[in-house]
Each structure stands twice: as C-alpha cells, then as structure tokens.
Structure 1
C-alpha cells in the first residue's frame, strides 16, 4: 500500500501526462483544455489518484488506457466545471418571465410548453426557470402541459440537483417573496440548508446527457438554455452543437447563451433580440419553418 506521504511526493504532472489527459478529455467530452488549465487538471485529478490508492499521474494514465469505460464517470465528473447560482445572468430570466412567457401563454392554443436546461449543473438554473414559469402562469399550471428538461454530463451534480437541497446563503440575494414561496427552511441540524418547493420539482425532469452523443428527446422546445458550456468546446464542435440546437428549437423559439459566448458563423441563422438571447426566425411571410421532431 502506498502511503499518503509517498503519494504526495510522487504527484507531479509532466507534459506527456498532461497532453494525454487533454486528448482523453477532448475525445470523450469535446472540452478543450489548454496550458492555462494545467493547475486545474493537477488539482482535480490528484484527488482521484489518491482515492484510487495510486502513486502517480503516470499510473492514472495507464488506468485510463486499461479501463476507459470503468473510469469514465469519475473522469468526467472531475473535469467538468459546475459554478452556478439561482438566477445567474438575471437578464435572461427577466426576458423569459416578462416577455417570452406572457407571449407564449397568449399565443399557445395547445397549452404546451417545453424548456431545456442543457447544462444544468447542480440545478439552480432549471429551478430558476421553474420559478419564472410559476410566477408567469399565476395558477394556470394545472391547465397546461409544462415540462422543463434538465440535463448534464456530470452524474454527481445531477444527484444534487434532484435532491434540491442547498446552503441557505445560496438564496440570500433573492426577494423575500420568492424565498417564502419556493423554498423551505431546514430545521434542527439542517438550519443552514434550504429545500426547493415540491411544486418546482414537479415541473423538472433530470437526465444525464453528454451533448456530444445522441440526443434522445423527441419534439422541439420553446426555449433552450445553453449557458457557459459552449466555451469549453472547439469551434467545429460549437458549430455542430448550434446546428443541433437549431433543429431542436421550434420556429420562433429562443436560445440563451452565456455572457461570454457567441454563435459565431451560426449567427446568420438566428435573430439577436437581446444580450446573448437569440431567436430562431419564422419563415418569410410569417409562415413557420417546418421543424421536424428529432428522435
């Protein structure tokens, strides 16, 4: 058995090991890691190496080669970044709640709404979407077919999202009315925690999904959130993902990107209607484009 002291002294990350890990990450997730991410790679994978009782990064690289499927979940969970908060990039939720949802409610004769949080992390984004829906619909939810799909590649953050339990300071900056309506305070040993209301959880389905793999959903969405994830992919992968998002949006549907992201060459297929808010246009003459269900 390798001692903790021996492990610490042996944990150096050379260029060959770093290059192998970067290639491995890109092949399985599409995420591009540059030299500026070396410290992050060292920090995150050092934990896995210690958990596995290994002596070095070289040992872990050999393990990845020998058992790629067995290690894939741990590997992906280690490398993905999960920084989020309730109502992060508030302008998106302002537009959703004040502009888009009222328009959809007024025009949607089928009484059906679909929203996709495609990189949902620990769940704050889809729960924020659910709050917007509840506020905009004001008691109409029971008469509508409303669903929020929340997906992420990381199984650990999905588990936390499904539980809906957070540190109390996560909602410190939210209006008191929102806190009272949609969050429950913990008691006893959980006084520093809050839980999202069941009425929000009922609107959301959480699923694990690698965006580079097949998307199993059928039908199209009214709104897709794809925020602060595209920046981790190379340009070709980004354009491929934008093409797939386009197909999964209904004509007139919205695509929300993160504050530092852009559509690049795919901008010509969308109308920019706000800060990182893009609409799939209707065909000329007001006739909707024929968006086919994708299986």
Structure 2
C-alpha cells in the first residue's frame, strides 16, 4: 500500500438495538464522530463472538495501529485528517473539553448506575441483552463482569473508596446527572448542535451518553423520565439518528438454535437466581475447557 492511500479502518464495538447503531455509550461516541468527520470505518460488532469476554471496545484497527478509548480514537481520526472540530475557535475547543469532563464526572455515573447497578433494569434489560449477545458459556460471565466494572467506575468517579456502599452515593449521583442534563439542554438551546450548524466531538459525546438513556426500554428510570422532559435534547438525538444513521439498520442476529435442551434451560433459570455463584462455577469449569477447544477454532 503506498503512502498516499488511506489504510482501511475497522471499528470493533457492541452492536445496535433500540433503534441505535450501538447500545454502548463509548461505541456510540466513536460511531457518531466517524459520521460527523466523514471517516469511513467498517463496523465489526463483537456480538456473538469470543471477543465479548476479552475485547476492550470500542477499538479502532487501522494498518498496524489498534487504538482504544473514545478520546484516543478521536485523536487518531483527527491525525488522519478526519476532524469534526476544525472550525472551532480556541474558546470553543476549551468549552468542549470542559463539557466532556463535566459529562464524564456528572452524567456517566448515573448512566452506568441506570443500566448496570439498578437491580430492575439490570435483571430485565441489561443483563439479558448482553447475555444474549455473548456465546455460551460466556453469556453467564460477561454481564456480571460489566456490572462489576461499572460499579468500580462509579465509585472511582465519585471519589469513594470501593468499601463505600453504592446506596450511600445514589442520591447524589442522580441529582448531579439531572443537573448536568439541564445544563446541556440550556447550552444547546434551540440549535441543532452545540456549536451551530455542524456537529463536533461534543455532540458525539452528548449523543453517546444520552441516546441509550433516551431509547432503551428501561423498567425503572427517574433519569430517563427527566431526560424525556428536555425536548431539545431528545430532538437532538432523533435528529442525529435521522440524518447520520437512518440507513444503517443494525444487522439481524444470526439464528439462535431453538432446541435448547432441558438441562440447559434449568441451568439458565437457576443462573438467574444464583447468578454470582454459578458464574464462578462456570468460569472455573467451562472456561479452561472452552479455551483449549477454541484455540483450534478461533473466530478469526
């Protein structure tokens, strides 16, 4: 490949649902920014592959580079001359960084809590989604790994020792998030995007955090109810989906084998009751076994 030709870019991320190109905030940020900046990326969902256990997503692969974390990926895209922020003034650039920091400090903990810590949402929406998009037996392990990581991340962001019970900071987490959403709604006003007529990295971050909260069928979420009252923010999400993603329908899942034997069905019911215990047992029993057999048949 000669130096003038752009290397093909592949983005590994969680797949889409709920009318979104991905259900995963960080993946959504990168997908949106790629659209805004005109970067051509091939999207490779990690759903139903063994990478659901090991992958850090989103991950951008380009030539010999593998870049993780939204901020790093956006920087990488800018270096490839895909820059959605080139018209921003220095002041707007500084505002962008301040708002992104605010979102990560004030909104992220509540979004993580809503999907991964709230017991009703986790049992009815989050856990079944991630389990059904991970191959057996990883479907028993992947959701709880994410839930544990989310909990650690929340406590870390809140400056709490992991010893603190999450219930002690819940109230503060949600009041901070509502305040952050109000501030974003105020800052957006009646504009289509945060800095005028073209979307920038700030729009990508807001979209990534807000769209799942807006679109998921959450059984219990005061934060979602609050968001749905902020018409300009929900319109902002709908507008981005319509303009940038309307032709990208998430690909349908591969057919699942219907004939799940009775033992496995019982196991699945049990797992829902005794999740942590069974996950540990499964991890110990299946994982070495599967890894050895999958060395020969990796999903490439």
Shorter-chain TM band: under 0.3
TM-score by length of 2: 0.24
More helix by share: 2
Q: TM-score, normalised by structure 1?
A: 0.24
Point out the structure with the larger strand share: 1
